[in-house]
Amino acid sequence: MKRVWILVTIFALVASFTVMAAKFSIYDWWTAGGEKQAITAEINYFHQLYPNIEIAQNPVAGGAGANMHAVIKSLIFAGLPPTTFQVHAGWEMYEYTKAKLLDPITDLWQSEGWTKVFPKEIEELCSYDGKFYAVPMDVHRANMLWYNISIFKKLGLKVPKTFEGLISVMKKIKAAGYIPLAVGDRYQWPAAMVFEEGLLAIAGPKTYDEFFEGKVNYSNPSVKKALEDFRDIMENYVNENHASLTWDQACGLVANGKAAMTIMGDWANGYFMGLGLKANVDYGAVAVPGSQGVYNLVIDAFPVPKGLSKIEKEYAYDWLKTIASVKGQAIFNQIKGSIPARIDVPTTGFNTVQVNNMKELKTDILVSSAVHGSEAPAPFVTAWENALTVVQYHPSMSLEQAVNYLNAVNAQYLTPQNLSH
Ligand code: GAL
């Protein structure tokens, strides 16, 4: 009998050691104002619900996952997967599923009834080969223009309705001595957003999708026009120090009245709120002129990597249940500037930009962002952003030369083989 008790005690000790040793280790790239507060609030809520789970949060600066994914892939290959990590639903997630680095979580989707509360399009972006692999934490909108209301009032400007109108407004703002469009492309992607959102506004959602499916290229007149406008904007209407600033520092120029506008996803809303600014009082927000009626989705999701221990997998499921709950989605998104991915979260506690986006998500045409990982494979996105940087910094390159060069990049990466998943 004594022996049995010794064995039971040893077993209990080993088990408790395993529990103690296991941590909930989470990776994200939310380090800027607004987004940092949002993830902190969610983690605090998770801690309230599961006080015994030890949490190790690992933020990797860079925005848009610029630096984080290299870290994650190395950890998984080294057999040290984090418990969960931030990933954009769609292609960015497919890179992991194609390489068999994630565990399917269809069981959880079914037991939690999530197919009833998340929109179909989002559900599709979180699944691969008929199985679910991630849970959406938010819905961001990429095609948004943010502007400083007092500069617009002072200069007697109206918010433009077309992309052409946007460029005319930029001319007036420049003449009045302000920076027309703040950009912070130290990590490249915010400049690529100027092209992506311009493309959507000028070419429309159908051509936008066809462009990333490799069906049309820069020789298409509206895509060519988007390229021409992109080069014009980057050369003539942005802050000179754009290449040394980050996205949030660019938003800071709008907040402090040095710049009149910026094109950025609605994490900018979280940034402005974090500064104590009020939507429709201090800053205005509209869909990028020309893209009204279209919602360019950016979806932050969390998966379960392969190779977790039983207890770690339990922690990962606890986290996924937390972020997918009505309360979890409200806590995070109210601060983040985005809207919940669930359709049944009440609008109370969200600001006017968010309430409007919640309404428009239901009626708009949905596309998804290439810059933010959903619309196109990652190797293409990297090559495309690099190529846009080249044409941006070489204004001496003629439009035809730029078109030919960029078409060659698209042809190399957007092949049927690379686009199959
Ligand atoms: C996006 C991400 C957003 C926001 C932004 C800037 O890719 O989806 O949640 O964090 O980067 O960091």
Q: Determine contact, residues 135/123, Cβ cutoff 8 Å.
A: no
Q: Determine contact, residues 49/322, Cβ cutoff 8 Å.
A: yes
- Taking alpha carbons only, the member of 89, 158, 154, 161 closest to residue 128 is 89
pLDDT band (50, 70, 90) for residue 62: confident
**Residue labelled with tokens 């296991």:** 22
Residue 144 one-letter amino acid: M
Nearest-angstrom CA–CA distance, 26 and 82: 6
Nearest-angstrom CA–CA distance, 146 and 182: 10
Task: Name beta bridge partners: 145.
Answer: 263, 286
Nearest-angstrom CA–CA distance, 159 and 226: 20
Per-residue pLDDT, 304: 98
Per-residue pLDDT, 109: 97
- Domain annotation for the chain: domains and CATH numbers: 2-138+304-354 (3.40.190.10), 141-296+369-419 (3.40.190.10)
Per-residue pLDDT, 21: 63
**Residue labelled with tokens 């968010």:** 354
Nearest-angstrom CA–CA distance, 248 and 246: 6
pLDDT digits (tens, 9 = 90+) for 352-402: 999 999 999 999 999 999 999 999 999 999 999 999 999 999 999 999 999
Closest atom, ligand 1, to C-alpha of 373: 7
Per-residue pLDDT, 382: 96
Nearest-angstrom CA–CA distance, 142 and 331: 21
Ligand 1 pocket mutation, candidates 36, 146, 266, 267, criterion most atoms within 8 A of CB: 267
pLDDT at 16 over 50: no
pLDDT band (50, 70, 90) for residue 270: very high
Residues with CB under 6 A from ligand 1: 29-30, 32, 35, 63-65, 140, 247, 267, 298, 300, 372
Nearest-angstrom CA–CA distance, 265 and 267: 5
Residues shown for the chain: 421
Nearest-angstrom CA–CA distance, 147 and 286: 9
Nearest-angstrom CA–CA distance, 290 and 313: 45
In the three-class reduction of DSSP (H, G, I as helix; E, B as strand; rest coil), residue 132 is classed as strand
Query: In the structure encoding, which two tokens stand for residue 124, read together?
Result: 């599709």
- Taking alpha carbons only, the member of 418, 267, 399 closest to residue 338 is 267
Query: In the structure encoding, which two tokens stand for residue 113, read together?
Result: 């009834």
Q: Which residue's CA is the closest to the ligand 1 atom numbered 2?
A: 64
Residue 107: count other Cβ atoms within 10 Å of its Cβ: 12
pLDDT digits (tens, 9 = 90+) for 287-310: 999 999 999 999 999 999 999 999
Residues 6+ apart with CB under 8 A from 177: none
Query: In the structure encoding, which two tokens stand for residue 335, read together?
Result: 């601060």
Query: In the structure encoding, which two tokens stand for residue 14, read together?
Result: 């080993």
Query: In the structure encoding, which two tokens stand for residue 404, read together?
Result: 């030919």
C-alpha to C-alpha distances, 25 to 58, 198, 265, 314, 381, nearest whole angstrom? 7, 38, 27, 12, 28
Q: How far apart are the CA of 191 and the centre of ligand 1, in A?
A: 14
Report percent pLDDT > 90 for the chain: 92
How would DSSP label each residue in 307-349?
T--HHHHHHHHHHHHHHHSHHHHHHHHHHHSSB-SSTT--STT
Per-residue pLDDT, 312: 97
Query: In the structure encoding, which two tokens stand for residue 110, read together?
Result: 């079914």
Closest atom, ligand 1, to C-alpha of 64: 7
Q: Which residue's CA is the closest to the ligand 1 atom numbered 11?
A: 64
Q: What is the CA radius of gyration of the chain?
A: 23
Q: How far apart are the CA of 119 and the centre of ligand 1, in A?
A: 20
pLDDT at 348 over 90: yes
In the three-class reduction of DSSP (H, G, I as helix; E, B as strand; rest coil), residue 258 is classed as coil
pLDDT digits (tens, 9 = 90+) for 24-34: 999 999 999 99
Q: How far apart are the CA of 9 and the centre of ligand 1, in A?
A: 48
In the three-class reduction of DSSP (H, G, I as helix; E, B as strand; rest coil), residue 191 is classed as helix
In the three-class reduction of DSSP (H, G, I as helix; E, B as strand; rest coil), residue 180 is classed as strand
Per-residue pLDDT, 8: 43
